[in-house]
Amino acid sequence: MNVKSLLSKIATAAALTAAAAAAQADTYQFTLTGAYNATWQMQSTIEPDDPYEGQGFIVWDVAGTFPGASTGLVDLTFYHGDLGGGVQIDDFYGDATLLIADGPQLYTGSELNPTFNLGTFALTEYQGTASYTLTVTNLSAVPEPASIALLLGGLGLVGAAAARRRKTEEEALEA
């Protein structure tokens, strides 16, 4: 196998890997601090359980750290900016609302196919004075070990091909 053929195959494999990675949604970390603290993770793009066009959407049974939640699972409502934006955290199983906070709209796109925004957002208690900070970060921005292994394997193959080519050239010169 010549070097051009090998490099072509490596480039094709890398392109396919990049395309597959791009097709997957990133995992986002949500960290809420202030008068109520909570953390949870969600995909950057989700399919809501209850979308309300122009109003917001609900995602059921989100796992995370939610003080006061009876099961550790909550329903999250993300509101459209026209309704005051922000987020609501409900303990469906315990029949309690843990937080309602106004602020910016935390997603782009439609309520049927939203994508969460990254950044730090100031929220204010609905009809109250407590303030909160919601930070949304991309956990997927750090390469996974499999991606690093694939990169190192490809570099190793390129190095092996170059060494083999050099050895073949040296043998040809000796003959």
Contacts 24+ apart (CB under 8 A), 75-80: 76/40, 78/105, 78/106, 78/107, 78/114, 79/55, 79/105, 80/54, 80/55, 80/56, 80/105, 80/111
* pLDDT higher than threshold 50 for residue 21: no
- Quote the pTM value: 0.69
Q: Look at residue 164 in the predicted model and tell me its pLDDT.
A: 75
At 51, is the pLDDT very low, low, confident or very high (cuts 50, 70, 90)?
A: very high
Instruction: Give mean pLDDT, residues 28-37.
Output: 97
* pLDDT higher than threshold 70 for residue 142: no
Q: Look at residue 155 in the predicted model and tell me its pLDDT.
A: 60
In the chain, beta strands by DSSP E: 27-34, 38-43, 50-52, 56-65, 73-79, 87-91, 96-102, 107-108, 115-116, 119-125, 131-138
Instruction: Give the least confident one: 26-35, 37-46, 89-98, 149-158.
Output: 149-158
Evaluate whether 48 touches 110 at the Cβ level (below 8 Å). no
